[in-house]
Structure formats: C-alpha cells, structure tokens
Copies of this chain bind each other. A is one copy, B any other.
Amino acid sequence: MIVSPQTHRFTEPLSLQSGAVLSAYELMYETYGMLNAQRSNAVLICHALNASHHVAGVQVDTQGRAIPRSEGWWDNMIGPGKPLDTNRFFVIGVNNLGSCFGSSGPTHVNPATGETWGADFPVVTVEDWVNAQARLLDVLGIQQLAAVMGGSLGGMQTLSWTLQYPDRVRHAVVVASAPNLTAENIAFNEVARRAIVTDPDFHGGYYLRHGAIPKRGLRIARMIGHITYLSDDVMNDKFGRHLKPLAAQVAHAAALVAEEGDASAGVPAGRAYQYTTQGVEFQIESYLRHQGDKFAEYFDANTYLLITRALDYFDPARQHGGNLSLALAAAKASFLVISFTTDWRFSPARSREIVRGLLQNRRDVSYAEIDAPHGHDAFLLDDPRYLQAVRAYFDHKVSI
C-alpha cells in the first residue's frame, strides 16, 4: 500500500482550552481505503507522543520508488486484510497540532510575527486536538465516524472524542491508555522536560533562531521514555546484564562470520568489566544511547514539551470533581478497551477504571487484558491475541 500525505489549511480561528486562539493552521493527514457512498465507513486513528499521520503503508521517493523501512507506525494493524481492514474501512491518520511532522507546530512560522513559533506556540490539549480533528472530518465530508482508535495518548484522544462529539462516534477503541496520568507519570514527563529546558542549547525555546538544537536534553528525554515503554521483564530478556562486546571483539566476530558464515560463531559470551564511568559497559546502555541519539536528530524539543503537557493535562473527570463515571456519562459510543499486563506506564488498572466508569453508565464495553511481556510498547507490536481482538471487534461489532 503506497501512501502520500495531504495538507489542509484552516482559516477559521481555533479557540484553544488555554484561551489562546490559533488564527490559521494546517493539518497534515493520510487516508487509506475508500470512503463509501454513505460516508459511514470512516475510522480516525489518533497518534501518541512521537508518531504522526503516517499510520500505515509505505512512502515513495520522488522517483516513485518505495522507501525502505517507511512503513507507518501501525502498519501491522491497518491495511488491506489487516485487523483494521482498509478493504472495508476508510482510515484517516492525522498529525496533531504542535507536532513536528507536518501539521502546524513550533517549528513553523508564526504568521503574526513572521518568525518561527518556538516557545510561543500555544499549549494544546487533547480536547484541542479533537476539535481540530473534527474540523478535518468536516472538510472530508464525514459527519459520523464508524470508529475512532488510538493507543496511549491516542487512546486519550479516542476517549475524549466520545465525550466531546458523542453523536459523531459509533465505536471507540482505546488501547493501553488511562483516564489521566498518575503522579509518577507526570514525574517522568517533568524530568524529561527539565532535561530539555535546562539544556543550554534550548534558549528558552527559541533555539532555531539561535541556530541551535537542544540535543542533549532530547537524548535524555528519550532515554527516560524508553525505560518506561518497556517492562522490567522484557528488558531483562533482551539485555539483562550482558556486556557490550568491545570493538575488537565485534571485528573478530565479523571476521569469523565472513570466514565461516556462522553469525553466532565469533560473538564472545562475556568479557571482563572495563571499569568505566563515562563509557559504555552494558548492552542496555548502548541501546538507550542509540535510541536517544536517533530521537535527537528528528524530534523537536518544543513539540516534546507540548505533547507531554497534553498528556499531563488530560483529565476528563476533573470538571466532575474527580468522578470519572460522571465524566463518561456523555459518551454514546460502544467501546473496545485493551490493556497489557506488563504495561507499568498505563497499567491494566487504569484501563479498568475506564471500563468501570463506562459500565456504570450502562455503555456497551468489551475489555481485553492481554498477557504480553512487552510493557507499554506492546500496543505497537505483533501480539496475535491483541491483533485478533481488534480484528474480531471490527469484523463483528462495527457495522458500516
């Protein structure tokens, strides 16, 4: 499935929860499959922290050749014959406001000043994103979604859709999410933000004007994030206390592979400690540094602040004295809620709070708690029971 993004420019001002107003803005999006004549088969996908509108399919270069490893972030879930089947559904991926992947955000020019927004881009919330997404549906001529679906922060948007636009959503698929962040969740976000904001290259958020990028802070933020995405168990399985092979050992192993064709032949099982405080000793360190380095090359620091704040602020029960059941009374959709046993960032207990709140309102809810070892990351991975739960829901529950 070859896909390419589109952009729509909105000129009607958007009032944000903070009180700020975006006078004009662009949303970048992709669509997969065909909208049917009744316009009743549309499914909106909401993305999480560092994802984008590019949900499924592969992208092509200027010569029309498929770009290697350009699959969308939920390509295992969405496409022809996949659990969310684009032969039947018209699927929309949209990049959120404040992002750095195409929609209006801090790296864009503020039309009022002619300078890049930087730290002046207004704070955006889950509710603001949903309002902007609803306007995109208006443009696409879609009055009601067959379903809205998302994982993690995307699950929060999904939940918010059912509360902000109850008549526009028939089904909601909320994966690995929570009705709000715990103190510990906020704490991890705050440490990541402090790493970015106190990086001398941050310049109060106006780094682009200074020709700088706060890469040190971004690296630390991403490393912290990665720890919370994985389970303790999967980290032990994948990395344990294994030492990083030394360069000489890697070269030796490569030589043996070249010679003997056996990839496992030359890799040493262990080695002596190097006794280093600043160097890499363990494989987990090497992995985290690599993830941090990659992230700092492509992600925008102000976007990181904005998106983690959207996570912090989301709390539909807040206006109802903390009573989630009261907050969820507005929802009319049917729900599929999914959690993963080893997800300690958004634990199954948090998903069960959503389920309980919906049941107290006699909503139609299916709940799957998937026994998966991968922690929060499981929502992006190929767990067969998980994919089957989504497939069965769309096949049997979601009519078009």
Contact = CB atoms under 8 A, between A and B. Distances in A.
Contacts of A219: 194, 198
Given A194-B220, A219-B198, A285-B190, A313 B273 contact: yes
A200 interface: yes
State the copy count for this chain. 2
Nearest to A282: B186
A227 B277 contact: no
Contacts of A227: 184, 187-188, 191
Contacts of A288: 187, 190-191, 194
Number of chain A interface residues as a range: 35 or more
B187 A276 contact: no
Given A194-B219, A195-B220, A200-B200, A312 B281 contact: yes
A62 interface: no
Contacts of A372: none
Nearest to A230: B184
Given A190-B284, A284-B190, A198 B216 contact: yes
A129 to B, nearest CB: 14
A300 B76 CA distance: 48
A184 B240 CA distance: 9
A152 interface: no
A309 interface: yes
14 contacts: A17-B273, A18-B275, A119-B278, A122-B275, A180-B241, A182-B241, A183-B282, A184-B232, A187-B226, A191-B224, A191-B227, A191-B288, A193-B278, A276-B309
Given A183-B284, A197-B278, A281-B309, 12 more contacts: A17-B275, A19-B275, A20-B275, A182-B235, A183-B232, A183-B236, A184-B235, A186-B285, A193-B277, A195-B220, A241-B315, A275-B313
